[in-house]
Amino acid sequence: MNSRRDTSPNEVLVDTSFLLPAMGISVEEEVIDAIKLFREVRVLYIEASILEAMWKIVRIVPPEELGVVREGVEAIRNTYVQVVPGGSAFLEAHRLYRKGHRDLIDDLLYATSKERGVPFLTIDEEFVEFLRSVHEDTSLVITPENFRKMLR
């Protein structure tokens, strides 16, 4: 099968997990290992991922440490490329939500990846399994392990 996964990507859309370290939030080692490879690709994100990160931050980051969050958001905006989901991505996200995946940000990220034809890097195996279970195309969905292999 000759798919986009068979070649090295020039750009990748990242899940929110890959933005969290910039804002001072600890993440799994596989996320950190993947981030080390970001210098080899153009990294894309959507603004909704920063909002999703903030939902986590308001629960765990004390007010005296918010300077790190501000610096992280600025670093993300200065280093990565923000993409704006088109109307079809929002409709696709709505469709996935109605099919049973109740994380609208994940749905929107997947739909944006599909709309733009770029790989979507995620560590959310449950989401990938959901996509497969409802017979969605997962050819653009990659895990950190796949990402590493693609860049070799």
Q: Where are the alpha helices (DSSP H) in the chain?
A: 29-35, 47-60, 66-79, 87-99, 104-116, 125-133, 144-151
Mean pLDDT by 10 residues, the chain (152 residues): 53 98 96 97 98 96 94 98 98 98 97 97 97 98 95 86
Phi, psi of 42 (to 5 degrees): -85, 120
Residues 58, 82: Cα–Cα separation, whole Å: 23
pTM over 0.85: yes
Overall size of the chain counted in residues: 152
pLDDT computed for residue 3 by the predictor:
41
Phi, psi of 73 (to 5 degrees): -60, -45
Ordered by where they begin, the domains of the chain are 8-151 (3.40.50.1010)
pLDDT computed for residue 5 by the predictor:
42
Classify 103 as helix, strand or coil.
coil
pLDDT computed for residue 2 by the predictor:
35
